[in-house]
Structure 1
Amino acid sequence: MLDHVLGRGELVCGVSGTRVIFSETQPDGSVVGVDADYCRVVAAALFGDAGAVEFVSLTTGERFTALHTGVIDVLIRSTTWTQSRDTELGLDFGPVIYYDGQQLMARAGDGFTPTSGVADIAGAVVCALAGTTTEQNVSDAADAAGIDITVTTFEDFDQITENFIQGACDVITADGSALAGRKAKQQPDDQEWVIFPATPISKEPLAPVYPQNQSRFADVVNWAVYATIIADEKGITSANVAEMAANPPDAEANRLLGGEG
């Protein structure tokens, strides 16, 4: 697989394209966000060119099929690393790039506050993305709280947000980062949205995904991610990388930046 990708000359990376903070397609066709930047990190490791990447926008229902059929090389799409996915889908996961947790979002006008809990959504219509861990998690949380809810699913988070704004969804649920991004960018002037509970209802370790048993390609993805973590620990940024390479603070930073020792 690695030779095939190198021969093509660019990385094909699956993203959401609509997820605020993580991957948003801009009017000019560019893609911005944390996930998109990690696609560029892997491209830089492969080709020495962060721009050598083709972005493919995928829904939650499309993402794993795109890997299985070879439409994409790697999926970096806010995807939770779970035991069942790791053992049953014939795919491998790379290092976690963001530790998230599932929360709920509702309108303050409906009586919700940041101190609300799962028990407070009794009888609510809760909207979630189809085929995700969030769909099952919110049902499990409701069962644990001894309440009944109606879970309605959509293939795209834009649909969820629009239905929430129009009042068709009483509550929406997703990773906390996704909810915070939607609140910041899409909350109408005549509504106030609140995110709760303070302690997420699940753990959501988000990681890259790639075809199973492709160890050489996996090495590139994994160590490209690790390099960004080491760089952050050492205070190495795009603004100071040249200076750091000339005067590395320690041996590990020196090796990271291409030196020896």
Structure 2
Amino acid sequence: MSLHLAPPFPHLFDASDRPKTGLWICSGSPTAAEIIGGSGCDWVLIDGEHSPITVEKTLSLLQAVAAYPVVPVVRVPVNDTVLIKQFLDLGAQNIMVPMVHTAEDARRAVAAMHYPPRGVRGVGSALARSSRWNLVDNYLAHAAESISLIVQIESAEAVSQAAEIAGTEGVDALFIGPSDLAASMGYLGQQTHPEVLDNVRRTIAAAKEARVVVGVNCFNLEQARSYAEQGVDFIAIGADVQILASGSQAMLAKFNS
């Protein structure tokens, strides 16, 4: 028996006339992950940075959404070679790396994604879900074809180097984080400040110039539509915990009024 892995995240954007919408999975609940997976969104972000989701928990969440027509993206907590290796080995095909401020940061993330001589990823695929325990034919030779790297632009420094980061070989997509970007600019909590919006626009333009897929995080639906009009390829518009919190509060407020 032999298996073949599905293509990675960037292929989701082929021949699309709208940005692909995504939702975060932050709770760590496989049940919530299934609900999000069946919601009709195009992709899900399993968040290992701002949540209690560990490497082991990520595996159960990947398994939970596997039955649904969504593309899972796993955000690692930090740009770390060992952690990226672990998430890849457990079968995460689409890795998002936060806080990539420079082209050197981007090159380090690329190296962590790939086996030598291209990179520094340790070889343990025979023991790992990534190769389905050697059921994937010639996994080592073709691993690069089944993974993608998304790097986050979320600081003023990163915006200034966006063109170089986008042009880094091995970077498949940029994902803009307006919240941390605003904080780095001295506008904490002001994601729609005009200067923040201008830096987001500049980053989108840099990605388009480099012909690299670009996305953005935005839970403000009105602003999200504005980003869609600017030509982003993918966008995250909500999270399981945020939907539960806002939905439950709105229902109680409506009933109690």
Larger strand share, 1 or 2: 1
TM-score normalised to structure 1 length: 0.27
For CA contacts below 8 A with separation 6 or more, give which structure has more relative contact order: 1
TM-score (norm 2): 0.27
Higher helix share: 2
- Larger radius of gyration, structure 1 or 2? 1
